[in-house]
Structure 1
Amino acid sequence: MSSFLSNEQLRNIAAEYGTPLYVYNADRITEQFQQLKQAFNSEKVSFFYACKALTNVSILKHIKSIGCKVDCSSINEAKLAVHAGFPSSDILYTSNGIAFDEIEEAVSLGININIDSLSNLEKFGKKYGHNYPVGIRLRPNIMAGGNLKISTGHDTSKFGIPIEQLSDIVRIMQQYQIHIAGLHVHTGSEIKDVAVFMKVTDVFFDLVPHFPELQFLDLGGGFKVPYQDQEEGTDIQALAKEILAFEEKIEQTYQRSFQVWFEPGKFLVSEAGYLLTSVNVLKETTATTFAGVNSGFNHLIRPMFYEAYHRIRNISNEKGEIKNYTITGNICETDTFAWERPMHEIREGDLLVFDNAGAYGFEMASNFNSRYRPAEVLVKEGKSYLIRKREVFEDLLRNLVEPF
């Protein structure tokens, strides 16, 4: 069975559930995870799905079922992971600029924790001392990622404790006898160059002697996913070869063995996802022909926020003449998905599918213009399942208080 859904499957799903609609293919997620497992083929390497990419509980349950662990960026993501059935040992929580009571709640769940500020590290030491192993997130001053907005390791990034504050980290660790179990570095997203990951291992290599109780080295995520036909993703086989060589080097040098952790998010779910939309209206002007669909940046903000490219295909008129169209949304802002994109001739009512919509699609959706968020469907072994209902008017009123 193909790990990509056919146009016929997508048309049938749209007919059954309506549009706009997010569709995810569980088999593709499984295939991506197996690619990682087979490339590394080591019990010393673990993968934690960065669930900020897509937190639907049915997706989390599928991730768990294939043997992948989960990485969380908020306490609520961690609680969703618990709800989905992950054991605490398989949940990683990396804090960022949060109040200390969120870390306290993470401790109460018994999960793995990374701390990213000296302030919270000191508070952690005062309260827990050596009683709860913890990791620290470092800022290595490495520029990486496909866009400044998704680069998190450079010298002006808010993420992590700056590497130049190492002496302060060690002082706090020693003062409160904190059990530093891991070091974490995430430099950004859309990283194609394997050498970027190896720069992080160089940082880790130099830091190991400062932390006598280290158990894991976490390189974050950021594997590149090809969004355009001519693009290439991260060479996972090459990365695995380099990482396994690093493990051997560090063991020989320090006579110590470590787990290596990765946090793939987009890599696992992006290509598994599709956004199905219907064409509301065609508008011809002297400059272009607009095709307005029943969606907008309230459903898929990546093209506007990151200037991200998504393939868009007309699956209702596959043999139509190729023409150029500007694909836009239906909200009261500039929500252009694509300018002058060559596509099979578009007619009102046609279905347009946005590929690579599994990561940061629904997850970043909103009710802007008081429009409803779409339904979500999971396809597993060829059968479709509704995993989130389409919103209705009552959802817009939920939690509102009308005092007058």
Structure 2
Amino acid sequence: MQLTQEETSHSIQGIDLAELTEQFGSPLYVYDADVIRRKVTALQHAFSSVDMKMKYACKANTNLSILRLMRSIGVELDVVSPGELEIGMLAGYEAGQITFTPSGVPFYEVQEAVEKGAIVNVDSLPLLEWFGQTFGNTKPCLIRIKPNVAAGGNIKIMTAHADSKFGISVLLLDQILEVVKKYKIRVIGLHQHTGSDIKDAAPFLQVADILLDTARHFPDLEVIDLGGGFKVSYKPGDEITDMKLLGNKISERFQAFCKEYGRDLQLWFEPGKFLVSESGYLLVKTTVVKEDPARNFVHVDSGLNHLIRPMMYGAYHHILNISNPAGALKTYNVVGYICETDTFASDRELPEVRQGDVLAFLNAGAYGFTMSSNYNARQRPAEVMIDNGEAKLIRRRETMEDLLRTQLD
């Protein structure tokens, strides 16, 4: 990770991060709109030689302000639930700009999405059969293919290997074609998603070859959807996906396929973390510094209820002490306030941390707030977006009344 001047000076667009906790409280999620714009531009440049469309995988961060920003810069949506579909439409998207990619959901959810005008990614043979019986050739769909390729930063975020629940195995192609032919289903695209945190081009190229080879069996395609999974930088020196190299290689394959296919298709990607992860910061305050014979512990006013990725995936989040950046380096375990083992970082070297210091967890824009909970009856934090040099509250902090609102006597 190459820390920017803004990160090392602990400000975003000239706004001091520590002061935001005084204004909006702690803990606090903060997003830098400029970073999102830069990531969108980077992907556009990487695939500038083909007709490419971005579908933001909004499960990464569903805040309405984030979605409205995406819409304003021409990024469409990929959703995985009726709730995300509804939020997308509230953000101003037309249903036809939204792809619904379910995973084993009740069929009525698919029917609702189709009837609203969303395009569905069919992820199982039973759903394909139902789709044909229900809609025949009156509604378009994509089919999610499982290419049986294992790639990604963690087994929990690999989605295309043989044991994954996602998609229809490419080995079942004959059965897929039989159902499509039986009901004359309008298959306008093929889709796959390999996983997350893939840094090498090789897995992307492997699954692209498999999907393009499969596409030869479908005569009426308009779209090839290669999903997402591009690796972002988490720590200094971290390797990331070489987008220029990947863009050149995939574009070359895609253009050759289109020429063979007889017409130009559109290439879709569904980046989530890639677009929003590096835009986000979780700001926390130090509550207790405990010097134990075995470890020095830094306790903060947050926990796995606000950022579960370190405990769920062993994910690394770079941490800055923005209150004492020039302090002498010491080694700490940074831990949360939940009555569980909720360790954010182990044996992490930081400038000396004192009670009341503000720490910033980087790469908190994706799968932070959206995976948060009210465990231990804790409220979720507020969210702030910084855009055009202005910090705007885009979600207020929860209250105890929010936690009790749906309970009945």
What range describes the TM-score normalised by the shorter chain of this pair?
Answer: over 0.9
Is 1:277 the equivalent of 2:284? yes
Once the two structures are superposed, what CA deviation does each residue of 1:267-324 show, in whole Å capped at 9, x if it has no partner? Answer: 1100000000000001111111101000000000000000000001110011111111
TM-score (norm 2): 0.96
Distance in 2, Cα, partners of 1:312 & 1:263: 28
Q: Does 1:343 align with 2:350?
A: yes
Q: Which residue of 1 aligns with 2:313?
A: 306
- Alpha-carbon contact 2:145-2:211 (below 8 Å) kept: no
CA-CA distance at 1:242 after TM superposition: 0.9
> Counterparts of 1:101-120 in structure 2 under 5 Å?
101-120=108-127
Tell me the amino acid that sits aligned with residue 341 of structure 2: T
> Out of 137, 143, 148, which is 2:144 matched to?
137
Q: Secondary structure at the match of 2:216?
A: helix
Q: 1:173 aligns with which of 172, 180, 183?
A: 180
Alpha-carbon distance between aligned partners in 1 of 2:5 and 2:99, rounded to the nearest angstrom: 28
State yes or no: 1:238 paired with 2:245.
Answer: yes
After superposition, what is the alpha-carbon deviation per residue over 1:118-168, rounded to whole angstroms, capped at 9, x for unaligned? 111111101101111100111110001100000000000000011111111
What whole-Å deviation, never above 9, does each CA across 1:82-121 have from its counterpart, x for those lacking one? 1101122321111111011011011111112101011111
Task: Give the distance between the partners of 2:74 and 2:5, measured in 1 at CA.
Answer: 19
Contact 1:250/1:256, CA 8 A, preserved across alignment: no
Q: Does 1:148 align with 2:151?
A: no
Partner of 2:194: 187
Partner of 2:62: 55
1:306-357 per-residue CA deviation (whole Å, 9 max, x = no partner) reads: 0000001110011111111110000100001111111100100000110000
Describe how 1:1-400 pairs up with structure 2 within 5 A: 4=6, 6-8=9-11, 9-42=16-49, 44-400=51-407
3-state SS, counterpart of residue 270 of structure 1: helix
Q: Give the partner amino acid of 2:211.
A: F
Q: Which AA in structure 1 matches 2:41?
A: Q
Give secondary structure in 2 for the equivalent of 1:97. Answer: coil
Secondary structure class of the residue paired with 2:278: coil
Residue aligned with 1:183, SS:
strand
AA of the residue aligned to 1:308 = A
Distance change (3 Å), C-alpha of 1:4 and 1:362: farther
C-alpha distance in 1 between matches for 2:68 and 2:78: 14
Does 165-174 or 38-47 show the bigger shift?
38-47
The alpha carbon displacement at 1:208 in A equals 2.1
CA shift for structure 1 position 257: 2.1
Change over 3 Å in CA distance of 1:3–1:169 after alignment to 2: farther
With over 3 angstroms needed to count, the CA separation of the structure-2 counterparts of 1:4 and 1:185, relative to structure 1, is farther
Q: What is the CA–CA distance in structure 2 between the aligned matches of 1:197 and 1:225, rounded to whole Å?
A: 15
Q: Secondary structure at the match of 2:96?
A: helix
The CA deviation at 1:3 is 9.2
Answer yes or no: is the 8 Å Cα contact 1:3–1:27 preserved in 2. Answer: no
Distance 1:32 1:204 in 2: 26
Instruction: State the alpha-carbon separation in 2 of the partners of residues 3 and 365 from structure 1.
Output: 30
Output one character per residue of 1:217-271: Cα deviation in whole Å (capped at 9) or x when no partner.
1100000001011112111111110121012211232323211100010011000
Percent identity over the alignment is 49
Unaligned runs of 5+ in 1: none
After the TM superposition, which of the residue ranges 37-46 and 280-289 deviates more from structure 2?
A: 37-46
Q: CA deviation at 1:4?
A: 4.8
Distance 1:3 1:17 in 2: 24
Measure, in 2, the Cα distance between the counterparts of 1:320 and 1:3. 19
Q: Which amino acid aligns with 1:169?
A: I
CA–CA distance in structure 1, aligned partners of residues 200 and 96 of structure 2: 31
One-letter amino acid of the structure 2 residue matched with residue 173 of structure 1 = V
Q: Distance in 2 between matches of 1:98 and 1:89?
A: 20
Uncovered stretches (5+) of structure 2, i.e. residues with no partner: none
- Please say if residues 3 and 31 of structure 1, whose CA atoms lie closer than 8 Å, have aligned partners that are also in contact: no
Structure 1-normalised TM-score?
Answer: 0.97
Q: Distance in 2 between matches of 1:174 and 1:4?
A: 56
User: What is the CA distance between 1:43 and its match in structure 2?
Assistant: 5.5
Alpha carbon RMSD of aligned pairs, Å?
Answer: 1.2
Equivalent pair of 1:116/1:159 in contact (CA under 8 Å): yes
Structure 1 window deviating more from structure 2 (283-292 vs 41-50): it is 41-50
CA deviation profile, 1:65-84 (whole Å, cap 9, x unmatched): 11111111112111111110
Shift in Å, 1:205: 2.4
CA deviations 1:357-402 (Å, max 9, x no partner) are 0000111000000001100001001100001110111011011011
Asked whether the 8 Å contact 1:3–1:25 carries over to 2, the reply is: no
Amino acid aligned to 1:364 = M
